Amino acid sequence: MADPLHQFKIEKIVDLPDITLPVVGHVDLAITNSHVAMTVAFAAIVLFLTAVTARAQVVPGRLQTVGEGLFGLIDNLTDSIIGHEGRKYFPFVFTIFTLILGMNFLGLMLAFTATSQIAVTATFGILTIGLVLIIGFAKHGLGFFKLFVPSGVPWILLPVIVLIEFASFLLRPVTLTLRLFGNMMGGHVALKVFAGFVVTLGAMAMAGGFGLLGIPGAMLSLSLVTGLTALEFLVAFLQAFVFAVLTCIYLNDVVNLGHGH
């Protein structure tokens, strides 16, 4: 348990029979700590939004204020980045934002953070880019490929620029995946390391003798854990917000392809 990476280990909670599906192949249906964390996050979001809408008042209370604040934040985001068509894509962006935010926050209060798993963050990245591709081809057909041909580029540089733009587009799901995964995993590792210092130095102090010298170190480590925990809550929100911002930017590229809004 002293291993700072132990907290990211996926463990089976309920073992279920495996099945084999066509094309997909072998599928393990066991319920893991990752499944539980994602389910709890989803249920918490649904309950929160249900409570906000069920008790909506003209003069909002604390819960309604938070809910309306999150709603307004993403609504303004989609409108300012995508433009007059932004409201169409609000449900997707809001869902992505709240799910990531819920998983990030619950990971700080529970023993497992779903967004510290690259498979989870990769799913969000693939879903986002998949929607971008669907909208791009649905709205513009083969004109979607204009995305890789910036206007005003000298023809002699065009082949190189097109390759760079295409490679950049292919890297979008990778950067979405690694940014969220890396920030959540790195922060939790740091918390675990300093928390380990608190326990180890505190145990030395309890042994007496020269072990009492560990008290200042334990106090310093405890203060760092407190500060890092506050910072991690900020990072948890910022990473969900950054993911939503980048989603809006990528959607804007294809919704308003070739012109502003």
Residue 43 confidence class, pLDDT cut points 50, 70, 90: very high
pLDDT number for residue 155: 85
pLDDT number for residue 208: 65
Query: pLDDT at residue 14 above 70?
Result: yes
Residue 22 confidence class, pLDDT cut points 50, 70, 90: confident
**Percent of the chain having pLDDT more than 90?**
38
Please answer whether residues 242 and 93 qualify as being in contact, where contact means their C-beta atoms are separated by less than 8 angstroms: no
Mean pLDDT of 152-181: 90
Tokens at residue 53, please? 């809408």
The C-alpha angle with vertex 94 and arms to 89 and 97, in degrees rounded to 5, equals 130
Torsion sign across C-alpha atoms 109, 186, 245, 258:
negative
Mean pLDDT of 142-160: 85
Cβ–Cβ contacts within 10 Å for residue 160, how many? 10
pLDDT number for residue 209: 63
CA–CA distances in Å: residue 211 to residues 2, 59, 192, 200: 20, 57, 22, 10
Please answer whether residues 164 and 148 qualify as being in contact, where contact means their C-beta atoms are separated by less than 8 angstroms: no
Model pLDDT for residues 209-223, shown as the tens digit of each residue: 666 667 787 788 888
Model pLDDT for residues 53-101, shown as the tens digit of each residue: 877 677 777 878 888 899 999 999 999 999 888 889 999 999 999 999 9
Cα(166)–Cα(164) distance, rounded to whole angstroms? 5
CA–CA distances in Å: residue 53 to residues 61, 110, 154, 172, 188: 12, 27, 54, 35, 33
Mean pLDDT of the chain: 86
pLDDT number for residue 112: 81
Query: What's the pTM?
Result: 0.87
pLDDT number for residue 33: 85
| For the chain, domain boundaries | 6-255
> 100-125: b or e for each residue (b if 16 or more CB lie within 10 Å)?
bbbbbbbbbeeebbbbbbbebbbebb
Please answer whether residues 28 and 119 qualify as being in contact, where contact means their C-beta atoms are separated by less than 8 angstroms: no
